[in-house]
């Protein structure tokens, strides 16, 4: 999966939704901003939690967005990998398959580390 291309398509789809339903999109955006701040949990840890849920829920777009955001918040490949392991513990075989995608996304977003 090419996460750069997939997220570009998803962003286009989100833009289309925002044009059709600006209030609904703004509500989700406000929720996102209201949750993803530096608090008792760091933004990095919140992104890792979101990534784990994306893996467990089998959402490829969520995996891409939250892997990228976790990297931006300072997550290392090892932290992503450990998040994948927790997701597998909680989500079994399907989480294993989707968790492997999170590492694929990390490698695509940080090719200089490969």
Domains observed in the chain: 41-114 (1.20.1290.10)
Percent helix / strand / coil, the chain, rounded to 5: 85, 0, 15
What are the distances in angstroms from CA 59 to CA 18, 42, 64? 20, 23, 9
What's the pLDDT at 19? 97
> What is the value of pTM for the model shown?
0.90
Nearest to 46 by CA among 64, 58, 57, 34: 34
pLDDT digits (tens, 9 = 90+) for 77-95: 999 999 999 999 999 999 9
Distance CA 48, CA 43 (A): 9
pLDDT digits (tens, 9 = 90+) for 39-76: 999 999 999 999 999 999 999 999 999 999 999 999 99
The answer, yes or no, to whether residue 114 has pLDDT greater than 80, is no
8 A C-beta contact, residue 63 and residue 55: yes
Query: For the chain, what percent of residues have pLDDT higher than 90?
Result: 96
Residue 1 pLDDT class (50, 70, 90 cuts)? confident
The answer, yes or no, to whether residue 106 has pLDDT greater than 80, is yes
What's the pLDDT at 3? 94
């Amino acid at each position: 999966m090419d996460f750069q291309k997939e997220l570009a398509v998803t962003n286009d789809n989100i833009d289309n939704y925002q044009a059709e339903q600006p209030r609904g999109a703004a509500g989700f955006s406000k929720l996102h901003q209201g949750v993803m701040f530096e608090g008792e949990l760091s933004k990095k840890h919140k992104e890792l939690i979101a990534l784990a849920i994306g893996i467990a829920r089998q959402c490829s777009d969520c995996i891409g967005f939250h892997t990228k955001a976790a990297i931006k918040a300072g997550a290392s490949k090892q932290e992503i990998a450990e998040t994948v392991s927790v997701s597998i513990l909680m989500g079994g075989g399907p989480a294993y398959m989707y968790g492997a995608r999170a590492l694929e996304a990390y490698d695509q977003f940080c090719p200089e580390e490969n």
